[in-house]
Amino acid sequence: MTAAPIARPALRRIVAALVADETNRSRGRVGGTSGSVRIEDPFAWTDDCRLSVGGLPLDSLETVNAGAALYEMFGLEGLEQEAKRGPPSTVGHWLDDISTVLLGEDPRLTLMTSGSTGRAKPCVHAIADLLAEATYFASVLPQVRRIVALVPAHHIYGLIWTALLPEALGAPVVAASVLSFPALEAGDLIVAVPDQWGAIVRSIRRWPAGVCGVSAGAPLSDALAETVRAAGVERLYDVYGASETGGIALRCAPGSPYRLLPRWQFAAPINGADAVIVDAGGREVLLPDRLSIALDHGFAVAGRRDGAVQVGGINVWPEQVEAVLRRHVGIADCAVRLSGQNRLKAFVVPSGVGDEAALTADIAHYVQRVLLPEQRPTAYAFGPALPRNAMGKVCDWS
pLDDT surpasses 60 at 183: yes
Whether 299 and 339 map to the same domain: the answer is: no
Number of domains in the chain: 3
pLDDT surpasses 90 at 80: no
Whether 157 and 232 map to the same domain: the answer is: yes
With b meaning 16 or more CB within 10 Å and e meaning fewer, what string describes 240-260?
A: bbbbbbbbbbbbbbbeeebeb
pLDDT category of residue 314 using cuts at 50, 70 and 90 = confident
- When mean pLDDT is compared across 14-28, 172-186, 256-270, 318-332, the lowest value belongs to 14-28
Average the pLDDT over 234-260 and give the result: 95
The helix/strand/coil state of 112 is: strand
- Output the furthest CA–CA distance in the chain (Å, rounded): 76
Chain segment 264-285, per-residue pLDDT in tens? 999 999 998 899 999 988 999 9
pLDDT category of residue 115 using cuts at 50, 70 and 90 = very low
**254 prior amide bond cis, ω within 30:** yes
Alpha helices in the chain (DSSP H): 8-26, 60-74, 80-85, 91-102, 127-140, 156-159, 165-169, 194-203, 222-231, 318-325, 356-370
pLDDT surpasses 50 at 19: yes
- When mean pLDDT is compared across 49-53, 112-116, 215-219, the lowest value belongs to 112-116
Whether 65 and 175 map to the same domain: the answer is: no
**269 prior amide bond cis, ω within 30:** yes
In a domain, 2, yes or no: no
Whether 176 and 251 map to the same domain: the answer is: yes
Give the pLDDT score at 179: 86
Share of the chain above pLDDT 70, in %: 91
In a domain, 115, yes or no: no
Give the pLDDT score at 303: 83
Give the pLDDT score at 117: 42
Closest CA to 14 of 127, 196, 158, 149: 158
| CATH number, residue 347 | 3.30.300.30
User: Which structural domain range is residue 246 located in?
Assistant: 129-308
Distance CA 383, CA 376 (A): 20
pTM score above 0.85: no
DSSP string, 142-164: ---SEEEE-S-TTSHHHHIIIII
Average the pLDDT over 335-351 and give the result: 92
Give the pLDDT score at 34: 43
Give the pLDDT score at 147: 97
Q: In this structure, which amino acid lies at residue 289?
A: D
In a domain, 398, yes or no: no
In a domain, 391, yes or no: no
Whether 170 and 83 map to the same domain: the answer is: no
Average the pLDDT over 336-355 and give the result: 90
Average the pLDDT over 15-28 and give the result: 86
Residues in the chain: 398
Give the pLDDT score at 58: 86
Give the pLDDT score at 207: 93
Chain segment 29-61, per-residue pLDDT in tens? 554 444 566 676 666 788 998 888 877 788 888
Whether 264 and 348 map to the same domain: the answer is: no
**Parallel, antiparallel or unpaired: strands 146-149 and 173-175:** parallel
DSSP string, 237-305: EEEEEETTTEEEEEEEETTPPBEE-TTEEEPSSP-GGG-EEEETT--EEE-SEEEEE-TTS-EEEEEES
Distance CA 33, CA 11 (A): 25
348 neighbors 327 (Cβ within 8 angstroms)? no
